[in-house]
């Protein structure tokens, strides 16, 4: 008897606690708009932090070096001239993008984190919906001040989209990129393949791979697959192949489910990893992408699908994470072909995918006005140009691009040949879940499942992510 009453007392206490907790989660109504955008606007001592997934001597080393050695000192100096004592800290990370995103989401959900945050363009939607970032006009509080910034006129509309959601600007984009097929010219010569290789179809890739297979200790081709690589699988694998079949992942608001095109892509994966042309184990390893970089640099991979990031930050001779001293002569690059000539999206022969990041202001910053000043400063023509430091990168600013493009053949190639034919990912909040489903589908195929089985599982995941069957096309 005594025991029962004690149990029921516990139950009552427990449910009372649950009732009290209800409504504690989330941040929707409690904090929007009630912070004064002009808080601390006149402060003489200001402290700002820049958060970025880059670190000196590691991931995106050049970017971290520039931020710490050029941007911050220059900004501090400029503010000193105005009589403001600014301290800017750099909070660098050197982890996988997914891990960086998790950390940032946790920081922002607790209303902490750096004042300026570097984020991938495709996170803007989900971060905005979660209330982790706010439209710049809200955070800065003055629409004229934000929209009147002269930098916007230099940033092309398609690039601005990277920092936008629902037609509102959440951040200033930091340039764009494009994907190509890299190949090792030394291995190509050994295998009797041309040094100016340009495949016209997926079959051409397979043929080259078969020739490379004869070289001992060489993995002919590596196309990112599996869940361990996260978004890299989607961006440097599934999506460039998918646009090569003439489809996009989202058309008119409907996601592509189990369809001919998806199965075609998965079949191509199967032919590479099931046919001994690629190394399936590498795609399943926890550190697979870094390993693929190292192996390419060590002349062990023939063909690799990567973005221009690979050229300027990975095999880059001085600061890359997998340096290749002879990069300029040894690494070739070619456009990604459609599955067959004319078979790509919009009837194209060649295809690519582009993305890019943006810098947003943490809505909970103590110094919104100063953060906006720093954001403009880092995106000024002078600063963007200095960030290049002679290296190859497609910046967000047309004026800077016009000056520096001609200097680097690879950069020029991406800007003139790739960007005109490229596609962007849909800036929809469901995208990351769809992307995860695509990664799982490739993991299944590389792991040995049949294309049909993988495509079926994919369809189920897409329907769950999209919310209903009506938002998915399958055929």
Partner 1 sequence: MKPARVRGPAQDVAGLGVTRALGFLAPALLLIGAFLVFPAIWTIYIGITNYRLTGLEAASPSIVGLSNYTKALNDALFHNALWLTLLFVLGSAIIGQNILGFALAWTMRRARPAVRRTVEALVLLAWILPSTVVAYLWIAFFDRDTGTLNSILGTQGTAWLIDYPMVCLILFNTWRGTAFSMMLYSSALQAVPPSQLESARMVGASGWQTLRDVVFPHIRGHVLTNTLLISLWTANDFSPFLLTKGGPNHESETVPVYIYNVALQGGELGYSSAISFLLLLVNLLVALLYLRLLRKRS
State which residue, 27 or 398, has the beta carbon closest to partner 1: 27
d(CA 268, CA 31) in angstroms, rounded, equals 49
- In the three-class reduction of DSSP (H, G, I as helix; E, B as strand; rest coil), residue 96 is classed as coil
We find the least distance from the C-beta atom of residue 263 to partner 1, in angstroms, to be 19
- Cβ proximity of 59 and 321 under 8 Å: yes
Nearer to partner 1, 10 or 41 (CB): 10
21 binds partner 1 (CB under 8 A): yes
> How far apart are CB 280 and partner 1 at their closest, in Å?
9
- 175 sits near partner 1 (criterion: CB under 8 A): no
22 binds partner 1 (CB under 8 A): yes
Take residue 466 and report the two structure tokens written for it: 């999209």
CB of 105 to partner 1, least distance (A): 5
Cβ contact 246:344 at 8 Å: yes
Q: Considering only residues 14, 194, 276, 407, which one is a binding residue for partner 1 as defined by CB under 8 A?
A: 14
Among 7, 12, 41, 106, indicate the residue that binds partner 1 (CB under 8 A): 106
Burial-class residue 451 by CB neighbours within 10 Å (0-12, 13-18, 19+). buried
Residue bearing tokens 């390893």: 285
Closer Cβ to partner 1, 109 or 160, answer by number: 109
Q: Contact between 132 and partner 1 (CB under 8 A)? A: yes
Task: Verify binding: residue 340, partner 1, rule CB under 8 A.
Answer: no
Tell me the sheet residues that pair with 358: 119, 173
Q: Is the dihedral of CA 177, 234, 291, 223 positive or negative?
A: negative
Q: How far apart are CA 170 and CA 292, in angstroms?
A: 34
- The DSSP secondary-structure symbol of 24 reads -
Tell me: does residue 468 bind partner 1 (CB under 8 A). no
The single residue among 130, 218, 345, 405 that binds partner 1, judged by CB under 8 A, is 130
Pick from 87, 110, 112, 129 the residue near partner 1 by CB under 8 A: 129
Q: How many residues bind partner 1 (CB under 8 A)?
A: 36
Site string for partner 1, 413-452 (x = CB under 8 A): ----------------x--x---x------xx--x-----
Contact at 8 Å (CB) between 197 and 220?
no
Residue 112 binds to partner 1 (criterion: CB under 8 A):
no
Nearer to partner 1, 341 or 447 (CB): 447
Q: Is 25 in the site for partner 1 (CB under 8 A)?
A: yes
Q: Of residues 7, 8, 11, 26, which one binds partner 1 by CB under 8 A?
A: 26
d(CA 447, CA 257): 21
Rule CB under 8 A: say whether 98 interacts with partner 1. yes
Rounded Cα distance, 151 and 153, in Å: 5
Query: Between 114 and 246, whose beta carbon lies closer to partner 1?
Result: 114
Question: What is the rounded CA–CA span in Å between residue 411 and residue 210?
Answer: 30
Beta-carbon neighbour count of residue 342 at 10 Å? 13
Nearest approach in angstroms of CB 28 to partner 1 is 4
Q: Which two tokens stand for residue 418?
A: 């790739």
- Where b means 16+ CB within 10 Å and e means fewer, 374-408 reads bbbebbbbebbbebbeebbbbbbbeebbeebbeeb
User: Among the candidate windows 68-76, 122-130, 308-316, 330-338, which touches partner 1 by CB under 8 A?
Assistant: 122-130
Interface residues for partner 1 in 212-251 (CB under 8 A)? Answer: 226-228
Tokens at 316, concatenated:
């880059």
Q: Where are the alpha helices (DSSP H) in 82-117?
A: 97-109
- Give the pair of three-digit tokens for residue 82: 């105005």
Among 7, 281, 406, 453, binds partner 1 (CB under 8 A): 281
User: Of the two residues 219 and 258, which places its CB atom closer to partner 1 in the complex?
Assistant: 219
Q: Does 143 bind partner 1 (CB under 8 A)?
A: no
Q: What is the CA radius of gyration of the chain?
A: 24
Name which of 70, 71, 69, 67 is nearest 51 in CA terms. Answer: 67
Smallest distance from partner 1 to CB 14, Å: 7
Concatenated DSSP letters of 41-59: TT-SEEEEEEEES--TTST
Given the complex with partner 1, which of 122 and 172 has the nearer CB atom? 122
Contact set with partner 1 (CB under 8 A):
14, 17-18, 21-22, 25-29, 98, 102, 105-106, 109, 123, 125-127, 129-132, 226-228, 281, 284-286, 429, 432, 436, 443-444, 447
């Amino acid at each position: 008897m005594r025991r029962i009453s004690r149990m029921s007392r516990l139950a009552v206490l427990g449910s009372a606690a649950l009732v009290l907790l209800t409504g504690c989660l989330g941040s929707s109504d409690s904090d929007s708009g009630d912070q004064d955008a002009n808080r601390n606007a006149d402060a003489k001592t200001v402290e700002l932090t820049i958060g970025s997934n880059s670190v000196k001597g590691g991931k995106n080393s050049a970017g971290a070096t520039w931020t710490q050695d050029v941007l911050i000192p220059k900004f501090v100096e400029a503010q000193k001239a105005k009589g403001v004592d600014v301290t800017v800290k750099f909070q660098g990370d050197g982890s996988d993008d997914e891990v960086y995103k998790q950390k940032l989401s946790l920081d922002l959900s607790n209303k902490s984190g750096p004042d300026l945050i570097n984020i991938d363009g495709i996170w803007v939607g989900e971060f905005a919906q979660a209330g982790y970032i706010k439209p710049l006009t809200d955070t800065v509080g003055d629409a004229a001040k934000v929209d009147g910034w002269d930098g916007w006129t230099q940033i092309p509309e398609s690039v601005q989209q990277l920092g936008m959601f629902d037609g509102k600007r959440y951040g200033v984009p930091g340039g764009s990129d494009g994907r190509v097929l890299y190949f090792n010219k030394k291995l190509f010569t050994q295998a009797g393949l041309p040094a100016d290789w340009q495949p016209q179809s997926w079959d051409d890739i397979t043929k080259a791979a078969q020739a490379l297979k004869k070289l001992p200790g060489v993995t002919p081709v590596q196309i990112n697959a599996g869940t361990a690589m996260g978004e890299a699988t989607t961006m440097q694998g599934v999506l460039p192949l998918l646009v090569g079949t003439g489809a996009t992942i989202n058309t008119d608001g409907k996601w592509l489910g189990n369809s001919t095109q998806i199965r075609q892509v998965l079949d191509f994966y199967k032919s590479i990893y099931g046919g001994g042309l690629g190394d399936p184990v590498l795609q399943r390893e926890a550190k697979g992408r870094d390993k693929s970089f190292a192996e390419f640099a060590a002349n062990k991979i023939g063909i690799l699908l990567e973005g221009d990031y690979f050229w300027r930050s990975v095999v880059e001779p001085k600061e890359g994470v997998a340096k290749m001293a002879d990069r300029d002569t040894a690494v070739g690059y070619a456009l990604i072909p459609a599955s067959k000539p004319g078979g790509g999206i919009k009837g194209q022969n060649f295809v690519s995918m582009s993305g890019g990041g943006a810098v947003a202001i943490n809505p909970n910053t103590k110094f919104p006005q100063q953060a906006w000043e720093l954001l403009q400063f880092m995106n000024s023509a002078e600063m963007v140009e200095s960030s290049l430091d002679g290296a190859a990168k497609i910046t967000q600013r047309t004026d800077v691009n016009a000056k520096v493009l001609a200097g680097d053949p690879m950069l020029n190639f991406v800007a003139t040949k790739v960007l005109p034919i490229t596609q962007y990912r849909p800036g929809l909040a469901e995208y990351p879940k769809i992307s995860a489903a695509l990664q799982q589908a490739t993991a299944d195929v590389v792991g040995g499942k049949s294309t049909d089985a993988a495509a079926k599982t994919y369809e189920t995941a897409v329907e769950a992510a999209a919310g209903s069957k009506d938002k998915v096309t399958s055929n």
